[in-house]
Every structure is written in structure tokens, then in C-alpha cells.
Structure 1
Amino acid sequence: MRRVRWLWHRMASAMRLLFPLLVAALACAPSPAKAAVPSQGRRLTIVAINDTHGALLEVAAPKWIASSTESEIGGADWFGGYLEAIRAEAKEHGGAVIVLDAGDAFQGTLISNRFQGRSVTDVYNALGVTAAALGNHEFDFGIPVLKERIAQARYPILAANVFLKGTRQRPDWLRPSTIVDAGGIRVGIIGLATVETPLTTNPALIAGIDFVEGGAVAAQEADLLRSRGATVVVISAHAGPGPPENEIQRIAEAVRGKVDAIASGHHHVSIGPPPLVVENVPIVQSGSKLQAFSVIELALDANGRVTSFAVNEGSLPRSGGPQAILHTYRGQPAQWRGRRIEPDARVAAILRSYDREVRALRETLVGETRVDLRKGSGNDLLGNLTSDALRSGAGGGLKAQFALQNAGGLRISEIPAGPITFGQIFDLYPFDNEQVVVSLRAIEVRNALEAVLHHGKGPMRVSGLRYSIDWEKFGAGSDPKGAPDGAIVVRMVDDGGRVLCETTSCGRHACQSTCAPGTYTVSVTDFLVSGGDGLTMLQGAPKRSRGILARDIVVAYVKEHRPLTMEVLGASQQPRWTQTGSARRVQMGE
């Protein structure tokens, strides 16, 4: 079945990313108790989701995984149906269920952004979410709106490692942890934000806040929760396993013997099979956009202490990996351990109410494409489209000689051939970032292209220029973050073939480059100008702006260039970037 193959591929891809971490973790960690569904004693079931990004509605499965019987996946109402089945099973066995969200719940879709996350919070309230971690994108609507969501939520949004800048004082609107009574089991829950927040969030939105390493803080918080009577302690962390930093492994090592399970997020990967266990602590992550969830089952002794655990036992499409929120499976209604899944009617009613307010806008036709628009290599058609739009001056925007579009700003991987709706452009470009045109020297443009590669978020999508990444020529692949300027992007030319910058030699700490004189106008977004994705060199650059949303410029460009073709998108030309060799893996979250 195509869907199963696709999900297995995604999980396999995630495990290739995680393999070095797994080897190291399992080599140094004590062997866990046998991981089987507890059959005796009390059981605490943890259901974990992460990186919902406002994806409350079911979505059509991409055409390469769809079949005649299985064409949708996800949906908060369907997730609610799975929760009903899991809770019913727990009740039969005298167990209890908690639901953890590992952050980045709000930002990303029209049904969420139009209401600044209020719709997501209403849905989470109806689902009975127990607690959530603070994700980096929870700040995207500003701290005043975040405070509103915290007040609205009937569950705590937690982060123990967030402090007022230069102090060890936490903001008065944010809690580090909580203790809940789950069917008589006292469960301590610690929330953690990622230390990458200053890089992955508009710095202007988090001024005055520090994000510190979570491990030591979580260990202290775990001791405090135990002293207050918690017999089980878990972490919900918006932090993931992306090497080389392995933030979630550092956290797990720091809380050894103090914490029983971790729900993680931020990297949008599906962990397992096999399960990830670090220092005898099971760690789960379930992709993104509410298309899957993970289950950790903890067996407890008479004192409420954990004696063994099981991770994603019996999940589909493959036991040991996250449970996909399938509506059908192999042509039959979806089930959870023999219980048929039906959408949660209360959640469905909430979704209908919000969807009525945005449906007309979401379905508004803005253009047409005759080719599938996908993210990918140097002829990334979604990247070409958005960077060309930013450079064009469409929709009243400013024209520029070049344009830079960060890959992390593009939030979906495909717009299929056919009509293009406003909702599709919104899903691609959900952030309310404004176009800004900066004046930069050629060497500064080159350094901006390298900055995202240093931080694992590249390659940058570009318009008006082409560039070459070479990890081998000057040995940059062995240490991407420490490579000197010019060691990674070794050549940059404009569309006419004129060399803008070329690296001639490199030493250990510096490179020699020949770069064109003068300055160039470069169209970017205010996120990048604020230093996002590590582009601090843009912060002091001369700039102009008309206050127009980059998304509106893309919509105008699509309208002006309908239908989009390979020629319009520049795919018939040379790739806009090429890459030689590979780097020691660097990955930032989303």
C-alpha cells in the first residue's frame, strides 16, 4: 500500500538521522526493563503529539501515497477518536491516560493563524490535553497573544528553562512544571523549550528572554516534583534529536534516574522502530501536523513507581513507530487494538465552527500551475516561485536585484499541478513576515548564504544569482559550524554569469576570496533582517520596506504569471545552487 510505504520511508529516513544517536545511547544506557504492554498492575498511558502547527483538519494524502480506499490522513477529530479508544482500553484495565503536546501547536494554517491559535486551544481543551511544552513558534503572534492562549487553555503550557534576560527569574506568566492526578497516580510533568528558539523565531518577538540548556533545569525540577509527591515524572520537550547537538539526548542524560519518559518535538521526525531509549528513558516524537501520535505505556508497582515500559506496541503501519492517524487501513475502518475509530463528534463540531469562517478565503482561486511544485534540489520549484516573487515587485512590493528565501520559511513540500488556492499559498507561507530590501556587498550576500548552512537550515533559495556549495574543496564538511567564511559557498554568480564572489584559498581560520565591488539590492523578509536563521550580518544593513506581507507578494505573482510552467519557474535553466560532497550532519528544528 502506497501510504504504508511512504510512512515507512519517512520513519526510515528519521532513523537514518538518528542511527548514530541510537548506537551511542544504547551502548551507554542500561538495558531497559522488557518493553511489552504491561498486563498486571496499574498502567499509565502517555499519548504524545508534537508540532501540530495548526493542522486541525484532515488532509488529502499526497498522490504518491493515496489509494482508492485511503485518501485522507490526520484531523483533530480523528485523533480524538483514537483518544476515546485508548481511554476506553485504559478504563477496562484500571489504568489512566495523560495527553502531552511537545510544542509548536499554533502557527501554520489559516484555521489557526486567522484566530491566533484560539482554534487550536479550543480543540486541545476538547481533546483533554493534559499539558503542553512551549514551542518556539508559540511566540509568533507575540507574547501578549501567548498570554491569552495560556489563559484560555484548560491545561498548562510549560517551560522550565525560560528566564527573564540576564536573570534566573521566570516570567510570571509561565509555569515550569505541574503535578496532575491521573486516576490516583501523581504525575509530575516538566516542560522545556528549545535552546534554538532565538535562531528559529523572530528575535524581535523574544526580546528580554533567555533560553537555557534544559537538562540541569529539568533535573532540579524533577527532584522538586518528587519531593512534592509525584511518583511518576515525565518531560514534554520542544527539543529534538538532530545531530550534532542532540539536544534531547543531553536532556535525557542530565535527568538519568529522575524522569520516566520524554515526549519530544521540534525536528518533525518520526522516531522508531526501534524505540529510542536513552539512560533507560523512552523518548518519542511523531512527525508533525497531527498526522501521527506516539504511545508510551508505563507499568507501575503498588507504590506508583515505574517498573517497565512499552513504546508504540501494536501501532500501525508498523509496531514500534508512531501510530498514523489513519481513517482506514487496508480498506477497512481504522482500529486501535480492536476498537473501531470514529471521529470525535465534539471536536468535529468545533472544527466546523471555525472552518466556516475561513473556508471561502481558503478555497479562493489565485492561479494555476501546469507542473507539480515541490521542494527539492537546486531547481526547487517552490523555492524558485517564492524567491522570484520576492524579487519581482509584484503586489506593490519592492523590486530588487537578488532575493533570498530561507528554506525553513516554506512549510509544505508540494503544490500539485492544477488550480492554486489561497489556502495552499497560506500553508506554504504561513508566517506574517514582511518584505524588506537590504543593500549588501557581494561578500555579505555570500556570507548570508553560508550562515544558514552553518546552522543547518540551508540551502537558501535564491533569485537573480546562482551559487556552488562545496564541502570537500576546503574541508568544510568536517566542521560546518566552525568553517571560515568562504569555505562552504565557493562560487557565486549572477544570472548573466558574472562572478560575484569566488574563494581562491582557505586556511584553518580564514579564506581568501575575490568578490565584485559595489552594493546590491536584496529582497528578504523581516525575519531574516532581524537575525533569524543566524543571519546576523543583515541586522545593520541599510533597508527599505513598504510593510507588505511576503505572502501577499507571492499571491500577486501567482496571479500575474498564471499558468505557472517550467519556463516561468526557471526550471529549464541551470540549477540555482549545486552541492559537492556532504557535511557532518547539522540540523535545526522547525
Structure 2
Amino acid sequence: MNCLWRGFARCTLAVLLFAVMTTAPVWAAGSADVVSFEVLTVNDFHGALPENGKNPGAAKLAQYLKETKAVNPAGTIIVSAGDMFQGTPDSNLLYGKTVVDVMNQIGFDAMTVGNHEFDWGVDILKKRINQSAFPYVAANIIDKKTGKPADFVKPYILLSRQGVKIAVIGLATPETAYKASPKYVAAYTFADPVQTVNQLLPELQRQGAEIILVVSHLASYMDRQTGEISGDAAVLARETRGLTAVISGHSHQTVYGKVNGVPVVQAYYNGRAVGKVEILYDKAAHKVVNTSVETVALPYPGLAADPAVARIVQKAQAEIGPVKNVVLGKTLTPLDHSREEPVVSPLGQWATDVLRTRAKADVAFQNGGGLRTGLPAGEITMGMIYEVMPFDNTIYTADMTGKQIKQVLEYGIMNTRVGMLQFSGVNVVYDPGRPAGDRVVSVTLPDGSPLGMNQVYRVATNDFMAAGGDGYIMFKEGKNLADTFLPVRDALVDAIKAARVIQFHSDGRLKILAAGLASAA
């Protein structure tokens, strides 16, 4: 250990930490009563099956999980914190089937339900559950009719490993109620995670659970300087007693640390990391004697691809190749997109213009989260459009007043909770320094005339927003709300084919006042 440049104090601390880390396993192995467990976690894989750019792909992810489990097969538990299926044409064109094939081959022990597991409806989700060789757990998905947990998942499972009873509680994020398509989750409520766990703990203790894990799709965040962990997963760890670890997802972050002495972990997204929680349990004393938590970035040099999983992915790619690889046209400039940036993105401008034109509407809206990635300059394939628009949303139209349109703009512009609203047909000046609900300074039509507050306009959007998804309840107040039954994705494909070449030019339809931006910050 080279410590010359660090200074004596830091070196001393490093040596002590090194000693603790290297002696703990020796102590554990020397005691017949102490057994070790390793919980390996994956979250927000989003169908990233092939190796691509920074994504290691399913085969390398599988190799790491299998290699790690081989070190302690009796004590390793592999879990998913949800959002595994939707996100790429490789998964979407087969509705997540290939991802489940991969997870079965790896040997997952449990999975919770992310909000995107509902993207294709509960019937498709049930097909994936029936296909799976592992249980799905989510204690807080409540059937409105019965008032009981949904029948397609288990609230928790009990595992017996190395003579120790381990409970695995599942939790969906309550945000599913508005982040999933309302038509697919209208029959369910998503109960408070803390209340749900606190109600279950006595039952689990009566059943003899000695280690209690929560596998959740609750968000978490970690301050890179202080190490402080925040988010719903941190709240759960802080406001409950008796949990051994909380596995997190949803927010696509790298998180590892402890809250209230409880390990909290999230492993980035797309398989780019694996979370690891190590637990030492003393069977004689009936207690956890030590825990540690980390994430491992993937891929790393020398990590091979698991042959069995590679064959599964290759077979699926051969099946979807004739659809995925069709070239539709090209774009001369990148059509970038970000849900977080306070702009109408190049992709957002182009896509909402397509919606407005196709629906013969005056104004069009698209939720920022409904566009999942941008398009690079060059050829555009069908597979790329599936990545941009993985959802099977259809175009809706409605008659709305100028006042209602302004309410949509007030709600959606710079909304960090649900993502930046994308729109077409109006030019907006926005001042974030003004009070909420009064930040839209002006709205004008393309000809320069002001939007009439009492005038009625034809508006186009998607079925998700029309049903109140992401909190856009304003569309339900419009008149003549109707489904065109035309998929948004098909409208984008048709537009590319018709144009052949996209030549993007920003029209500056959104102006955010710099002074207001500074005061809002």
C-alpha cells in the first residue's frame, strides 16, 4: 500500500480499514455458527440485452452474477428491483419474454414490480410472471375491489438458506399510480411503503424470519461528497425497525451506504452495475453481526460473456432482426432529447410537430418521459424508433380552451418530477422566478397572435396524458376527448418515410427568462 502522498493520518485510517475488511471473512469462516450471505441486486435493466456502448449486455451481466454466486452458492440471493423489460426493441418486440428467459437462466430468486412492468398492461405482465421461474413480490399493490394485495404478486416470500429463514418483502413505488398508464393501473392503489412494511414486520417475526430484505422500486440518491442517502428508500430505512437491507431502483442512480444502520443499495441502470450486500449472521446468537454494501461497475476488463445467455440473446435478435433493422430514412443533424433539461428538445420539437400535423390539431403535447432517447445523425431504423418510443401510446384529440392549454404549460414546463413537457403550435415565454401557476408570461400562436383564453382549440396528445398520466388532469376537462387509435410510433415512422430526410431547425418556441431562472435557482 503506497501511502506517501496521502499523509500519515489518512494512511493510518486506510490500514485500519484494510485490516477490518480482510479479517472479517477470516473470523466468519472460523466460527461454525456464523454464516455469510451475499445479496446481488439488479435494477432498471430496461431490456438492455445486447452489449452496446456502456451497456455490458445480458451475457456479461449473467457471467458476473454466476461467477459471484459460485463463490458462495448456498448463501447467494439474486434479486431484481424492477423495470427489467421495457426499453429496447430487443425486448419490446417480444414484450419482455427474452429478458425473463435470461433471468431464468441466471437463476434469480425474486423480483419486484417497477412502474414500467405495467407498460403493456396487466395481462402481459401476468404472462411474464407465469413464464418466470422466480416469484414477483410487491406488498403494497392493492386491488381496489378486494382491498387486498393484488393476486398476481406475493407480498413477500420466505427463503431458507444455510439454516436461516430469510424474508424478502417486495414494494412498488407509489409513483406507479401516475407514472404508469392510468388505464393499466386504475384497478389498483399503491400503498405507503413505510406503513406496509411496518404492518408486515410482526407477521414475519412470528414466522421466524431472521433476516428481512426489502426489494423495492423506491428511488434513492446519494450525495457524492457526503455519502448521505435520500429518497423514498432512505425514508423506509429510517422509519422502520428490523430491516436487514433495502434494495432500491427507479431513479437510475449508483447508491451504496447505510441509513439508520441499514444498507441501502441501487445499481445504476441497464446492467451497468450490480449491487452487493454482504451479511454475516450468527445462528447461535440469532442476530446479524455485520453488513457491508457496495456496487460493482460492469463491464470490466476480462469479463467474459456467458455462453448460454449469449445464445438466448442471439436467438431473439435473429427473430426480430427483419423488423428492427429496416431503414426508414435519415436525419442530417442529431435529434437530441433530455427529460431534465428545461428546453423543448430537437426530438421533442420534431415529434410534437408530427403529432400536431397528423391529428390536424392546433396544439400538440408530449410528456417528456414518453420520449426515451434521442436520435443520432444518420440513418434511422425501426429499432431506433422503438428505443425513442417504446410505449404503445395512441394519439388522442380534444377540444380545449386557451385557459386549459395554459394550465398544461404551467404544469409541465420545468416539471422536474415528471420530466420536461414537449409541445408544438404555441410560442411560450416562461419566468421560473414567478409564483407557481403564474410563470407563463405569454403564449402566442405561430402567426404571432395571442392565445385566446376563452377560445377553443383542437389539441393532440397521447393516451397516457389524456388519461391523466404524470398528473396531466387538464385533458379530462376538455371536450370531445377521443382516441384516434393511431399509435404515436406509427405516426413518427410515417413522417420519416414521407420526408426521407429530416432537416431540423430550432424555432425557439420556448423562451425561459434568464433573470427568473437565476432567482429560481
TM-score with structure 1 setting the length:
0.77
1:379 is displaced (CA, Å) by 4.8
State the alpha-carbon separation in 2 of the partners of residues 583 and 201 from structure 1: 33
| Partner residue in 2 for 1:301 | 282
1:348 aligns with 2:284: no
1:195 is displaced (CA, Å) by 0.9
Output aligned runs, 1:276-295, within 5 Å.
276-295=257-276
Structure 2 letter corresponding to 1:300: Y
1:78 to 48, 56, 60: 60
1:489 aligns with 2:427: no
| Partner residue in 1 for 2:345 | 380
1:402 is displaced (CA, Å) by 1.4
Q: Is the 8 A contact 1:451 1:533 kept in 2?
A: no
| Partner residue in 2 for 1:367 | 329
Q: Is the 8 A contact 2:344 2:423 kept in 1?
A: no
State the alpha-carbon separation in 2 of the partners of residues 148 and 222 from structure 1: 30
Structure 2 letter corresponding to 1:260: T
Q: Is the 8 A contact 1:166 1:210 kept in 2?
A: no
State the alpha-carbon separation in 1 of the partners of residues 440 and 157 from structure 2: 47
1:467 to 401, 404, 428: 428
1:170 is displaced (CA, Å) by 1.8
State the alpha-carbon separation in 2 of the partners of residues 358 and 194 from structure 1: 32
Output one character per residue of 1:9-67: Cα deviation in whole Å (capped at 9) or x when no partner: xxxxxxxxxxxxxxxxxxxxxxxxx9947413222111111112222222124xxxxxx
Output one character per residue of 1:536-578: Cα deviation in whole Å (capped at 9) or x when no partner: 12124222333110011111112222322233xxx2x325352
Q: Is the 8 A contact 2:234 2:264 kept in 1?
A: no
State the alpha-carbon separation in 2 of the partners of residues 426 and 370 from structure 1: 20
Provide closer, same or farther for how the CA distance between residues 145 and 472 of structure 1 changes in structure 2, counting only shifts above 3 A.
same
Q: Is the 8 A contact 2:138 2:154 kept in 1?
A: yes
1:134 is displaced (CA, Å) by 1.2
1:255 to 234, 240, 243: 240
Provide closer, same or farther for how the CA distance between residues 251 and 521 of structure 1 changes in structure 2, counting only shifts above 3 A.
same
Q: Which moved more, 1:432-441 or 1:460-469?
A: 460-469
1:137 aligns with 2:116: yes
Count of residue pairs the alignment pairs up = 481
Provide closer, same or farther for how the CA distance between residues 131 and 390 of structure 1 changes in structure 2, counting only shifts above 3 A.
same
| Partner residue in 2 for 1:417 | 377
Provide closer, same or farther for how the CA distance between residues 454 and 306 of structure 1 changes in structure 2, counting only shifts above 3 A.
same
Q: Which moved more, 1:460-469 or 1:152-161?
A: 460-469
Q: Is the 8 A contact 2:426 2:509 kept in 1?
A: no
| Partner residue in 1 for 2:462 | 525
| Partner residue in 1 for 2:166 | 187
1:51 to 31, 44, 48: 44
Q: Is the 8 A contact 1:404 1:463 kept in 2?
A: yes
1:584 is displaced (CA, Å) by 8.2
State the alpha-carbon separation in 2 of the partners of residues 233 and 282 from structure 1: 12
| Partner residue in 1 for 2:9 | none
State the alpha-carbon separation in 1 of the partners of residues 349 and 308 from structure 2: 42
Q: Is the 8 A contact 1:35 1:311 kept in 2?
A: no
Structure 2 stretches lacking a partner, 5+ long? 1-18, 29-34, 223-228
State the alpha-carbon separation in 2 of the partners of residues 525 and 411 from structure 1: 15
Q: Is the 8 A contact 2:82 2:216 kept in 1?
A: yes
Question: Equivalent residue of 2:351, what SS?
Answer: helix
Output aligned runs, 1:318-337, within 5 Å.
322-326=295-299, 328-329=300-301, 333=302
Structure 2 letter corresponding to 1:324: A
Question: Equivalent residue of 2:304, what SS?
Answer: coil
Question: Equivalent residue of 2:234, what SS?
Answer: helix
State the alpha-carbon separation in 2 of the partners of residues 180 and 236 from structure 1: 14
Provide closer, same or farther for how the CA distance between residues 385 and 451 of structure 1 changes in structure 2, counting only shifts above 3 A.
same
2:449 to 498, 504, 510: 498
Q: Is the 8 A contact 1:190 1:222 kept in 2?
A: no
| Partner residue in 2 for 1:267 | 251
Question: Equivalent residue of 2:258, what SS?
Answer: strand
Q: Is the 8 A contact 1:102 1:264 kept in 2?
A: yes
1:435 is displaced (CA, Å) by 0.7
Question: Equivalent residue of 1:120, what SS?
Answer: helix
1:583 is displaced (CA, Å) by 9.1
Provide closer, same or farther for how the CA distance between residues 163 and 325 of structure 1 changes in structure 2, counting only shifts above 3 A.
same
Q: Is the 8 A contact 2:171 2:216 kept in 1?
A: yes
Question: Equivalent residue of 1:285, what SS?
Answer: strand
Q: Is the 8 A contact 1:449 1:459 kept in 2?
A: no
Q: Is the 8 A contact 2:219 2:251 kept in 1?
A: yes
| Partner residue in 1 for 2:4 | none
State the alpha-carbon separation in 2 of the partners of residues 96 and 532 from structure 1: 42
Identity within the alignment, %: 30
Question: Equivalent residue of 1:374, what SS?
Answer: coil
1:143 is displaced (CA, Å) by 1.7
Structure 2 letter corresponding to 1:249: A
1:405 is displaced (CA, Å) by 1.1
Question: Equivalent residue of 1:367, what SS?
Answer: strand
State the alpha-carbon separation in 1 of the partners of residues 179 and 511 from structure 2: 23
- Which gives a bigger RCO, structure 1 or 2 (Cα 8 Å, sep 6+)? 1
State the alpha-carbon separation in 1 of the partners of residues 520 and 108 from structure 2: 38
Output aligned runs, 1:396-411, within 5 Å.
398-411=359-372
State the alpha-carbon separation in 2 of the partners of residues 97 and 491 from structure 1: 59
Output aligned runs, 1:183-262, within 5 Å.
183-241=162-220, 246-256=231-241, 258-262=242-246
State the alpha-carbon separation in 1 of the partners of residues 218 and 186 from structure 2: 21
| Partner residue in 2 for 1:105 | 84
Provide closer, same or farther for how the CA distance between residues 84 and 241 of structure 1 changes in structure 2, counting only shifts above 3 A.
closer
1:151 aligns with 2:130: yes
Q: Which moved more, 1:140-149 or 1:228-237?
A: 140-149
Q: Is the 8 A contact 2:432 2:512 kept in 1?
A: no
1:265 is displaced (CA, Å) by 1.0
CA RMSD of aligned residues (A): 2.4
State the alpha-carbon separation in 1 of the partners of residues 112 and 312 from structure 2: 23
